Structure 1
Amino acid sequence: MMKRITLKFYFTFFLLLMVLISCEKKTVPEAAILVNKRVLFLGNSITNQGGYVSYIEYYLRKQFPADRIDIISIGLSSETVSCLSELAHPFPRPCLRERLERALQKIKPDIVVACYGMNDGIYHPQSPDRMERFREGIHHLLQQINGVGAKAILMSPPVFDPLPLAERVVDDGATDFSYLHPYENYDSVLGDYSEWLQSLNDADIRVIDVHGPMKAQIMTLRSQNPSFSYSTDGIHPSASGHLFIAQQFLKSFGYTFDQDIKTLADSVESDNLFQLVDARRKLRSEGWLKFVGYIRKDTVKQDHIDDIEMEVARLDREISTKK
């Protein structure tokens, strides 16, 4: 009888242990797919600013201190996937197609994260032609990513906020539109892009919605403070805006955040680990952007990257002591 009770005890203990192990596994963020992989971030000036990329890398390093974090971010200011450019722009906007093949060949990513849309409607009201040009650009991007065997992650564009541009926005009766005088309801164009991008979400293409949650958050905060904005120019996010973008990205991989954005941004940016990660991201972004090469009014091309990667390796060693 005692032996039977003992066996029953051990069997129950074993089942409980298996349940606990299973629960423990479920708490590991799915973002583990981003570590020990080479991850390429593509985008326009918002990605060139790079704040959200630094926040993402910081949290990955905090969560996976023993793993390799290999992120290269080469956002290019003014760039589009639609290959459109408004008349008032001082030079033809760079188009991702011009540098995409080189970027994939030189960087050899396992995962490509792309955030486009803000410039792609060239600050005009929506039109079937411009919408189709955006779709064509995204499909071309996905074909190229698939062609090198990488996984695609698309992010919908952040919000265009007309509030900081109240004196410059124009209505749909204007004769022309541009980043200097954008359509007052241009965010509806970005909403169209966001909705269409989300329709692509499947087993092969991951789509992370930034636009919808950011718009809802702005509306909530503006009900408390009518002058609130995540941007000073309606286009480029503040540090808090970049952190919000990073949060949406990380939440889609299972992260949770307890503190409000402002408190979190202040505490993160005062962390020496974040400062090193941010310096590393900026150094690597500038170096690889030039090494891949681009045309933005002038042609920019640098023939070496070894010196940059040596400094990156030094920063990696310093970062390893801060985890």
Structure 2
Amino acid sequence: MINSIFFMAKKSFIGFILFFVLFQVKSQETIKIPEKANKILFLGNSITYSGQYISYIETYLTLKYPEKKLEFINVGLPSETVSGLSEHNHAQGKFPRPDLKERLHRVLSKAKPDFVFANYGINDGIYLPFDNERFKKFKDGILWMHNEVAKSGAEIVHLTPPVYDGPNTAVYDNVMDIYSHWLLSKRYTDEWKIIDIHSPMKGQLQKERVQNPKFTFAPDGVHPNKEGHWVMAQQVLLSLGENTSAQFNSIEEAITEFENGKKALELIEKRQAINKDAWLSAIGHERTGMTEGMSLKEAQLKSKKLKKQLTMLLNQ
């Protein structure tokens, strides 16, 4: 009798896990990076600048498809918005939030991307309760960005904002819910390519808190930790058709099947760290306090050496 109950409980648990994995797989629309695309650019704020989710995506795809020659360019800028809004005393009055409008044309002309992932929203409500005027500025900024990227000839994919988990969580995450739902609606009204980051992160957060009420993806309420960045990367990978990524709880798990997976991740993270500051400095921006990057030429030389090491590693 006890064995029978145990078997049924185990079967139910496995069924739940399979349902959760299948739900993740089904919840994202399939997006394809064109075969001719070479430069994949990521726009966003400090979450994108920190770049773990970008490195995870690049590592996973590089290990699985070493024959593909994709260049992943991170031009995320901390504090940035598309709404042009800023708190009255942002950063203790040191500087207002930078506005993407100030630099997007330079980003597109210098980087010349073929494919763009854009992740905005978390800063755009400036951490206040919902307000229609602020919402309008966010929507206007997103529409402007979308059109400018499209005019450049690149395809653009929008990511909904990550989950908010800081002070007044219910109030501001409600704002992020609204912003996310509007972005998702553009799938149907305008056939935009949208990847939902917000809902899966929120669902996973709630699931984890059943067992651990103190669990969080963002210790400071805004910036995801490694686990949060993996959930973000996972949703992008699922949208790209990498359905097996749903079964892994971390990038480390995802790359264990590859002999040199860990070393490949280290090399890619190192290259990304060099390149992102070089790109930001080459493009120019109005955000004070940023690390001055080396020249783009110097960064590309260092990057080339790291890429060579990576190629040798993958060919072992």
TM-score bracket relative to the smaller structure: 0.7 to 0.9
Name the structure 1 match of 2:22.
none
Q: CA RMSD, aligned part only? A: 2.4
Q: Which ranges in structure 1 are unaligned for 5 or more consecutive residues?
A: 1-28, 163-168, 171-182
Contact 1:292 1:302 in 2 (8 A): no
Please tell me whether residue 102 in structure 1 is matched to residue 106 in structure 2: yes
Counterparts of 2:277 and 2:35, CA distance in 1: 22
Name the structure 1 match of 2:53.
52
Q: 1:111 is matched with which residue: 115, 129, 152?
A: 115
Report which of the two has the higher share of helix: 2
Q: Give the match's secondary structure for 1:158.
A: coil
Contact 1:109 1:150 in 2 (8 A): yes
Counterparts of 1:149 and 1:36, CA distance in 2: 11
Name the structure 2 match of 1:259.
248
Please tell me whether residue 197 in structure 1 is matched to residue 170 in structure 2: no
Q: 2:271 is matched with which residue: 273, 280, 287?
A: 280
Please tell me whether residue 223 in structure 1 is matched to residue 219 in structure 2: no
CA gap of 1:301–1:284, structure 2 versus 1, over 3 A, is closer
Name the structure 1 match of 2:298.
307
The residue type paired with residue 188 of structure 1 is N
State the shift of 1:296 in Å: 1.2
Name the structure 2 match of 1:289.
280
Contact 1:294 1:301 in 2 (8 A): no
The TM-score, its normalising length taken from structure 1, stands at: 0.80
Aligned-pair identity in percent equals: 38
State the shift of 1:34 in Å: 7.2
Larger radius of gyration: 1
Matches within 5 A, 1:1-323: 33=34, 36-89=37-90, 90=93, 91-162=95-166, 169=167, 185-201=171-187, 205-255=192-242, 256-257=244-245, 258-261=247-250, 264=253, 271-297=262-288, 304-323=295-314
The residue type paired with residue 194 of structure 1 is S
Q: Give the match's secondary structure for 1:153.
A: strand
Per-residue deviation, residues 133-156 of structure 1 (Å, max 9, x unmatched): 000000010111011111011000
Q: Give the match's secondary structure for 1:125.
A: coil
Q: Give the match's secondary structure for 1:47.
A: helix
The count of corresponding residues between Structure 1 and Structure 2 is 277
Per-residue deviation, residues 219-259 of structure 1 (Å, max 9, x unmatched): 01101111111111010000111011000110111112223
Contact 2:275 2:296 in 1 (8 A): no
Contact 1:40 1:71 in 2 (8 A): yes
State the shift of 1:287 in Å: 0.5
Q: Give the match's secondary structure for 1:321.
A: helix
Q: Give the match's secondary structure for 1:85.
A: coil
Counterparts of 1:57 and 1:76, CA distance in 2: 19
State the shift of 1:100 in Å: 0.3
Contact 2:38 2:70 in 1 (8 A): yes
Contact 1:42 1:73 in 2 (8 A): yes
Q: Give the match's secondary structure for 1:71.
A: strand
Q: Which ranges in structure 2 are unaligned for 5 or more consecutive residues?
A: 1-29
State the shift of 1:320 in Å: 0.5
The TM-score, its normalising length taken from structure 2, stands at: 0.81
CA gap of 1:105–1:49, structure 2 versus 1, over 3 A, is same
Contact 1:293 1:299 in 2 (8 A): no
